[in-house]
Structure 1
Amino acid sequence: MELVHLLLRYLHLLGFAAVFGGWLVALLSKRLNFNSAMLYGIATQLATGIVLAGLASAEPDANHAKIGVKAVLALLLGVMIAIPVWKKREKVAAGHFYATGALIAVTAGVAVFWT
């Protein structure tokens, strides 16, 4: 069971790397668009996060508030990324793009600093 938990955590981190990496590539290329790497990354994070939350809920000392906040942030990121990708927008508004980057940073901060 520990191997499954570690594998899920690894996949969750790879999803984060795809979301953040895709956002950083768009920022550095000054195109301000969302790409399929970000879409697949957030989908991976949502899927593995749901399973990880289920495994964590089985433990008596699970932090349900943190799990709930992370779920809301991940769903919000999913919507912010998926809609422009599905609508095949060449460019998103600068505020939307930078807000997505800030939300990526906040989500990572919640995961790291909220114990």
Structure 2
Amino acid sequence: MDRYLARMEPLRLILLFLHLIGFAMLLGGSIAQFLTGRLRINPAMLWGAIVQVVTGLGLAAPLRGGGDHEPPTAKLAVKLVIALMIFVMAFFSRKRDEVNRGHFLALGGLTLVNAGVAVFWR
């Protein structure tokens, strides 16, 4: 089993790298859009949300085969629910010329909450 884990480590690292890129796209896109004063969902935000969900599912998949460093299932479930909320908020609002301020701020806030869950929930 140890050889299996060693072979899967590069894949896990690639998924983690792409997951961080998705976070940067989502948060960076929302900050950039907020600074323009026109609150709308830009392509970086939408693609960031998509990348976050897809790579998050890949990271949560049983690729590592268990062990002491596995995140709690509850943490993964909370992160998945938040990521899906972000994706739905971005996807269904992507074609609007402008979104409600509360909707836009909630999307950015949920992005930060999801990062906080990832970092602080041990």
Confirm or deny a common fold (TM above 0.5). Answer: yes
Paired residues in the alignment total 113
- Asked if 2 retains the 8 angstrom alpha-carbon contact of 1:12 and 1:44, the reply is yes
RMSD between aligned residues: 1.3
Aligned to 2:101: 94
Using structure 2 for the length normalisation, give the TM-score: 0.88
**27, 30, 37: which one aligns with 1:30:** 37
Q: Which residue of 1 aligns with 2:77?
A: 68
* Structure with bigger gyration radius: 2
Aligned partner letter, 1:36: P
The structure with the greater share of residues assigned to helix is 1
Cα shift readout 1:50-98 (whole Å, capped 9, x = no counterpart): 110013673144310100000000000000111011xx10100011111
Asked whether 1:112 is paired with 2:115, we answer no
User: Offset at 1:17?
Assistant: 0.3
Contact 1:34–1:84, Cα closer than 8 Å, also in 2:
yes
TM-score between both structures, scaled by the size of structure 1: 0.93
Task: Quote the offset at 1:2 in angstroms.
Answer: 1.1
